[in-house]
Amino acid sequence: ARAQLRPLEQAGPTAGLETIRTWLRADARLPAAATALGISLPGARKRLTRAEDALGRSLLTAPSAKYELWLAMRALGSL
């Protein structure tokens, strides 16, 4: 789980764990995540795109890595 999340830790705050955690807590709904983060919808989309780049995996289009990230965060007690 730690190895899977490490790229997000290294990516910094705008593509990091807090963005993904908030997005997952919002049931992977971008508008709800943007509201919770206090940013615009395009801003949230940009952060998730940065997270995709850091992970080398898709989050916004299928097949998505969101379930694997959810499990990793749950395993570490981060979600």
Return the pLDDT at 2: 82
SS (H, E, C) 29-69: CHHHHHHHHCCCHHHHHHHHHHHHHHHCCCCCCCCCCHHHH
Return the pLDDT at 50: 92
Chunked into runs of 10 residues, the chain (79 residues) has average pLDDT values of 85 81 93 97 95 89 81 86
Return the pLDDT at 3: 86
Domain edges within the chain? 2-75
Amino acid present at 26: A
Count other Cβ atoms within 10 Å, centred on residue 49.
13
pTM: 0.79
d(CA 22, CA 8): 13
Return the pLDDT at 1: 79
